Amino acid sequence: MRPQKVLDIEILTGLAKVFRSKGYEGASLKDLSEAAGLKKASLYHRFPNGKQEMADAVLNHISDWVDENIFSNLLDNDLTPENRLKKGLAGVRMLYDGGKEICIFRALSMQAGIELFEEQVKNGMNVWITNFKKLGLAFNLSHDEAENRAIQVLIELQGSLIVAKGLGELTVFENTLQKIENKYLRD
């Protein structure tokens, strides 16, 4: 076989960039192939089921990144709760590039995607809540408090991304990260 011209990771990175900025319907095969560095037909060779398979692959790729760079920190028993929190939030900051990038779930769950990715969005959110809840328990919060705070973290992250993007003020996102950190450290 001939060697791959472009590595899988490079393709996924390119595809992710387009899906995140344009959404599912908004991302054309032309956009996707240019960002991936492969012609359309070659993309179909890698993803025989087309655009949907590309979006799935991107979701899985990002999901793996989040596991490795955020959740693994939140749950790391070798760290103090304070350091789990700090390293976890550092991962969050990186995931969203300081507020410049949008949440891939949100980008893909609009439009036709509503039914297409509904289940994955729901599961994805529940995993975030579960893991932040475990962090809350490590801070000696009650089950209810830990769960409510986990949900609140999700709300504030998503909300601040929208507002930061809308206003063009990245500080809104950064302030929210600080606020979340302080809230856990204070009680």
Binding site for a copy of itself (CB under 8 A): 21-23, 25-26, 105-107, 109-112, 114, 121-122, 124-126, 151, 154-160, 162-163, 165-168, 172, 176
Which amino acid is it at 68? E
Which stretch of DSSP H or E encloses residue 169?
none
If the CB atoms of residues 42 and 130 are measured against DNA, the closer one turns out to be 42
Q: For 72-131, what is the HEC assignment? A: HHHCCCCCCHHHHHHHHHHHHHHHCHHHCCCCHHHHHHCCCHHHHCHHHHHHHHHHHHHH
Nearest approach, Cβ of residue 126 and a copy of itself (Å):
7
Tell me: does residue 52 bind DNA (CB under 7 A).
yes
Nearest approach, Cβ of residue 137 and a copy of itself (Å):
20
Nearest approach, Cβ of residue 21 and DNA (Å):
14
Tell me: does residue 85 bind DNA (CB under 7 A).
no
CA distance 187 to 31: 48
Tell me: does residue 51 bind DNA (CB under 7 A).
yes
Residues 8-27 that bind DNA (CB under 7 A): 27
Radius of gyration in angstroms for the set of CA atoms belonging to the chain, rounded to a whole number: 18
Enter the tokens of residue 87: 């390293």
If the CB atoms of residues 79 and 151 are measured against a copy of itself, the closer one turns out to be 151
Enter the tokens of residue 25: 């319907």
Residues that bind DNA (CB under 7 A): 1-6, 27-31, 38-42, 44-46, 48, 50-52
